[in-house]
Amino acid sequence: MGAPRADGTVPLRRHRPFVLLCGEQIASSVGRQITALALTLLAVTDLGAGPFGAAALLALTYLPGAVLSPLAGAIVDRIRLRRLLVWVTALQTLVVGSIPLAGAVGHVTLAHLYVVAGVSGTLTFTLSVALQAALPRVVGPERLLAANSALTAARTSGQVGGPALGGVMVGLLGADAALLAGSAAYAIEALFLFALPAALPAALNALTGSREPARAKSLAGSLRTGLAVVRAERRLRRMVLAGAGLNLGSGAAAALYVFYATRDLALPAWQLGTTYAAYSAATLAGALLAGRFARTSGLWRATQIFGLAAGAAVFLIPAASLGLAFPVLLAYQVCYGLSGTVWMISMTTTQQLVTPDGMQGRVAGLVQAVLLTTVPVGALAGGVLAAWLGNVPMLMGAAAVTLLSAATLWAPMGAGVTVPKRALDAEAESRR
């Protein structure tokens, strides 16, 4: 623990519970990246899964989040957060570890992989909702922006190194050993979460300063009250709708990105890989700069500006067909990675600030469900339309969807709940 600042709080870099969450994000990200790669390679190379089988495996990691996130949010608001975080992560360790255990006795099947993918996806998105609900209690509303930025940077660092580590382990030791390493990463994550305070402090309502548990007697009632918050807060409702459109269009573009870059543009593998590396670097830069942008322009204005920039960046994908494909796609990945990260951090912070205390889980679960659902829908629609219209026309349409969706953030909006300015007032101090 470091020396307190003038306002009596400890800087985030010396705030033990928050540092534990940063460590958890790195371990979790590495575990997810290794697990996703090893599961796919095990299914394709060892068990003979075809294209549909590989696609089904990927879909099963996302589908539970789209379907069950609202229910997970309602549960998060009804039980002790720290206990939930530890149990979910411990169960994740056992679920992923069941594959190398089955491999040791020679009984790994595709059905086993599908079950692991589905259960692991459910646990991953439940943990995501729980952490969004826990963060305001750990750092308080005044430091949410800096905390979200730091956690995104920690998560991105794991995403950069995770696939490379997973690939090396699969190549040298096999998929079973890689999954054992993924399970170990989840176990380390569980230890970080177990070290959190046994009772996370109750956070004040960011808008009114009051404590409002807002508990409902039933899960259905909990979901209704969460939906009422999303519908009542105009900026939150606007962000959810814009985010759904952005994910729909960008999901369609992402589904064709590799095929379009290699077949239509004839990019060699090293150039394609470089564009993805540029995206990772831009994402990290966005996480580091999000607080500065929000302090300069305001939290809501940053959401508007960078949402629009992310939507416009997608036009660079079809523009690559006009020439200079490699530098144009590099520019796309840098622009989209930077602007999309700032937009998401600003949106998440705004969501946490306008959500009443005791309802963070429900609202986060509903928002996550909407945003996750539109990604596979966009990917499927993109594939169908590309087969009918061609790659470039479909990519132009996807870019138009993302830009128009982001533009709705700028439409006139009546008076509504305003994000507290105090969320930004303490940023300079909290980042020291």
pLDDT class for 206, splitting at 50, 70, 90?
very low
Of the ranges 128-137, 262-271, 304-313, the best mean pLDDT one: 304-313
Q: What is the mean pLDDT of the chain?
A: 77
Give the pLDDT mean for 308-330. Answer: 89
pLDDT value of residue 69: 79
Residue 240 has pLDDT above 80, yes or no: yes
Q: Which two tokens stand for residue 183?
A: 């399970």
Find tokens 């533009």 and name the residue.
407
Alpha carbons 179 and 165: distance in angstroms, whole number? 12
Residue 301 has pLDDT above 90, yes or no: no
Alpha carbons 379 and 216: distance in angstroms, whole number? 36
Alpha carbons 265 and 256: distance in angstroms, whole number? 12
Contact 316, 328 (CB under 8 A): yes
Instruction: Report percent pLDDT > 70 for the chain.
Output: 80
Residues 6+ apart with CB under 8 A from 301: none
Contact 76, 128 (CB under 8 A): no
Q: Which two tokens stand for residue 65?
A: 């989040």
Contact 316, 265 (CB under 8 A): no
In sequence order, which ranges of 314-420 are alpha helices (DSSP H)?
Answer: 316-319, 325-354, 360-389, 391-407
pLDDT class for 404, splitting at 50, 70, 90?
very high
Q: Minimal CA–CA distance to 334: which of 368, 284, 372?
A: 284
Count of CA atoms in the C-beta half-sphere (13 A) of 20: 20
pLDDT class for 1, splitting at 50, 70, 90?
very low
pLDDT class for 316, splitting at 50, 70, 90?
very high
Residue 311 has pLDDT above 60, yes or no: yes
In sequence order, which ranges of 77-218 are alpha helices (DSSP H)?
Answer: 81-104, 110-139, 144-173, 175-194
Alpha carbons 226 and 220: distance in angstroms, whole number? 10
Alpha carbons 101 and 107: distance in angstroms, whole number? 9
Residue 8 region by backbone torsions, left for phi larger than 0, else alpha for psi between -120 and 50, else beta: left
Helices (H) and strands (E) in the chain, counts: 16, 0
How does pLDDT run across 48-59, given as a tens digit for each residue? Answer: 766 566 656 766
pLDDT value of residue 332: 92
How does pLDDT run across 101-114, given as a tens digit for each residue? Answer: 887 877 778 888 88
Backbone angles phi, psi at 108, to 5 degrees: -85, 130
pLDDT value of residue 200: 59
Q: Which two tokens stand for residue 305?
A: 């500006």
Residue 176 region by backbone torsions, left for phi larger than 0, else alpha for psi between -120 and 50, else beta: alpha
Contact 294, 303 (CB under 8 A): no
Of the ranges 182-186, 328-332, 345-349, the best mean pLDDT one: 328-332
pLDDT value of residue 422: 41
Q: What are the C-alpha distances in Å from 256 to residues 62, 335, 384, 391?
A: 18, 19, 11, 8
Q: Which two tokens stand for residue 20?
A: 């534990």
Alpha carbons 213 and 103: distance in angstroms, whole number? 46
Specify the 3-state DSSP secondary structure of 49. Answer: coil
Alpha carbons 288 and 292: distance in angstroms, whole number? 8
In sequence order, which ranges of 195-233 are alpha helices (DSSP H)?
Answer: 219-232
Number of neighbouring beta carbons within 10 Å of residue 385: 18
Q: Which two tokens stand for residue 296?
A: 């300069």
Q: How far is CA 218 from its chain centroid?
A: 28
